Amino acid sequence: MSETKAPSNFIRQIIDRDLAEGKNDGQVVTRFPPEPNGYLHIGHAKSICLNFGIAESYNGSCNLRFDDTNPEKEEDEYIQSIKQDVQWLGFTWNGQERFASNYFDQLYQLAVELIHKGLAYVDSLSPEQIAEYRGNFTTPGKPSPYRERSVEENLALFEQMRSGEMDEGAAVLRAKIDMQSANLNLRDPILYRIRKKVHHQTGDKWVIYPMYDFTHPLSDALEGITHSLCTLEFEDHRPFYDWVIEHTSVPASPRQYEFARLNLNYTVTSKRKLKQLVDEGHVEGWNDPRMPTISGLRRRGYTPASLRTFCESVGVSRADSVVDMGMLEAAIRDDLNQHAPRAMCVLNPLKVVIENWEEGKEESLTAPVHPQNETMGTRQVPMTREIYIDREDFREEANKKFKRLVLGDRVRLRYGYVVRATDVVRDDSGEIVEVRCSYDPDTLGKNPENADDQGKLRGVIHWVSASKGEPCEVRLYDRLFTAANPNKTEEGQTFLSHINPDSLSVLDGCWVEPGLRGVLAETRYQFEREGYFCVDQSSSADKLVFNQTVGLRESWPKEA
């Protein structure tokens, strides 16, 4: 094992016991088996961290295997995005990425083996009839009239399925287990179905494709997986997993263990629903910063370290629970508070003219890149006669609780001088468009004299030079759904009924320090007094675009 031991959980305890008993020749081999039918989301991040993390801890290996048994819904775009997500999180899979389709020839032969053993048969019932015969939780299943076909007939029909002689839906291959079982997954589950679709890996070689529950255990066995980790919804499938391993001649006998999936409030993690959000234009795409996808979180400004920390803090158990979104936001806030460089950005600009500042004069002020980390160095901030402050930081009149600029009072410009507001300029509608100020040249880096006629400073505000600053667009994000559980709906509603119409606010005409000109996408900053922000992928030399990652402090109330 590695020197750093992760917090224990029931899966690690199982592995520790297996190793102590000498099982699996002392090896730990896991796998991450996503379906390439969508982008990965935060729930997958937990599975990635668990499978790859365990492999790291026990000096084992973890395979990346795409469960590509449904060519109708799979695309290379999804394959590439999944690989990028795993690598971005900081993990390396064992050897080349694998595909379930790599094993289609072997899976077919293992299906033939089951037919020879009298444990599989070709069923000619329609899909609707199969569902009816299967029964439900209160009604026992009944055998198909085709269940007792001879081995020879089943072999011939299965070959006809494979050769394309049958239409889609004309027949399926089923396991012969127990139609009376209390576990519906054992009521002669389907092993193969006809799908005359071109596959992204195998082309038009196959017109029959194996089902997930058949493919999954056999792929694990063929790869020598020692611990097959799945979420709890597969617990009832485990008896079939074990049945497949027991009744086929595979080289290994992996075991499946289930853990609770990650449920996060104010979001959905169903791939079907996420795809619906994309397809219907409710979001910009799979990597929209409001989406719970790994690529969306990355574009939002989340770091690999923050997601790994979050997944570790959630823990691994068998008890289903809902994690508060604030826990995820706290993870990135803590990370960026330590590592993000600081900058000043004015989101709602109001021009300030410093009347006693010489025309054309520019002074370079020194500011720390990070106030608690001197090793990150300093940055230079240009000071000019005209600057921008945030409109929220000025009032003509205010009580003492308002710690910003008030007409007739003084504040300090962050890292700069003390200024006093002396007058305002209004447009034709009466709106203030400019504040006139004076500055005290003796206050750089030191407190001014608090003479009786001047009073104490109200506070410190951020600012940006109007002539040297960089214009930018800032996108502010709220939660995509207004309900903690978007899936909980009333009659006539869907999860889309809970979409937050104010989940995105685009602020154009913002101003940021000139030092951020030309920064790379995904560079993260703390905009002082505003929050944490990330350079968007669409940002360019012509237009800087920043995405809000998270506020400086939690602003959403916790669920009661």
Active site residues: 35, 261, 271
SS3 content of the chain, % helix, strand, coil (to 5): 30, 25, 45
- CA neighbours closer than 13 Å in the CB half-sphere of residue 330: 12
CA 299 from centre of chain: 10
Q: For residues 231 and 47, is the Cβ–Cβ distance under 8 A?
A: yes
Residue among 559, 547, 66, 81 at smallest CA distance from 274: 81
What's the rounded Cα separation, in Å, for the pair 376 and 518?
A: 19
Sign of the C-alpha dihedral computed for residues 281, 282, 288 and 291 taken in this order: negative
**CB under 8 Å to 63, separation ≥6 — which residues?**
29, 30, 31, 32, 93, 94, 95, 98, 223, 225
* Strand 524-527 relative to strand 386-390, pairing: unpaired
Sign of the C-alpha dihedral computed for residues 327, 332, 338 and 341 taken in this order: negative
Residue among 414, 416, 434, 437 at smallest CA distance from 425: 434
Residue among 528, 408, 541, 560 at smallest CA distance from 464: 528
Q: For residues 35 and 67, is the Cβ–Cβ distance under 8 A?
A: yes
Per residue, what are the HEC states of 455-469? CCCCCEECCEECCCC
Token output for 454: 């001047």
**CB under 8 Å to 164, separation ≥6 — which residues?**
196, 207
429 in helix, strand or coil?
Answer: coil
Q: Which residue is listed with tokens 């068998």? A: 318
What's the rounded Cα separation, in Å, for the pair 129 and 124?
A: 9
* Strand 345-346 relative to strand 61-66, pairing: unpaired
Q: What are phi and psi of 304, to 5 degrees?
A: -55, -40
Q: Quote the Cα angle for 56-57-60, to 5°.
A: 55
Residue among 530, 503, 493 at smallest CA distance from 266: 503
Q: For residues 394 and 386, is the Cβ–Cβ distance under 8 A?
A: no
* Strand 470-477 relative to strand 544-550, pairing: parallel
* Strand 460-461 relative to strand 432-440, pairing: unpaired
Q: Which residues are registered as beta bridge partners of 59?
A: none
Q: Which residue is listed with tokens 């790869």? A: 223
